Amino acid sequence: MAVLRVQVTYEDGKDIEVKVTPAAQVAFEREYGMGLPKASEDMRNEYLFYLAWKALQLSGHEPHGFDDFVASIDDVMVNGSDVSDPTESGPAPD
């Protein structure tokens, strides 16, 4: 399984990159009742933000609750690819 990493940019300009650990993945599964493969079929922003929050919380970087975290962030990126707007498409295939 590939290592999933998220980079969070806060409204104040602070950037933190963190690994989404198995513990964070299990917390997601317990919270939403589905695994990441199923969630990725119909990815909601809340899913991504929850994964980022839980990974940061478990690594000691985020002391606030989920709602306060969401109110304080500007962007979340996964493995260097911006997924904050699922309606944007990449370059056309050759």
**Model confidence pLDDT, tens digit, residues 79-92:** 844 444 433 444 44
Cα 12 versus chain centre, distance? 18
The 15-19 sheet, strands edge to edge: 15-19, 5-10, 73-78, 81-82
Helix, strand, or coil here: 40? helix
Radius of gyration of the CA atoms of the chain, in A: 13
Task: Provide the domain limits for residue 53.
Answer: 5-82
pLDDT in the model for residue 42:
86
Structural domain count, the chain: 1
CA pair distance 87, 85, nearest whole angstrom: 5
- Do residues 73 and 11 make contact, with C-beta atoms less than 8 angstroms apart? yes
57 assigned to some structural domain: yes
Structure tokens at 3: 């290592």
31 assigned to some structural domain: yes
17 assigned to some structural domain: yes
Mean pLDDT of 50-73: 97
Give the global pTM.
Answer: 0.80
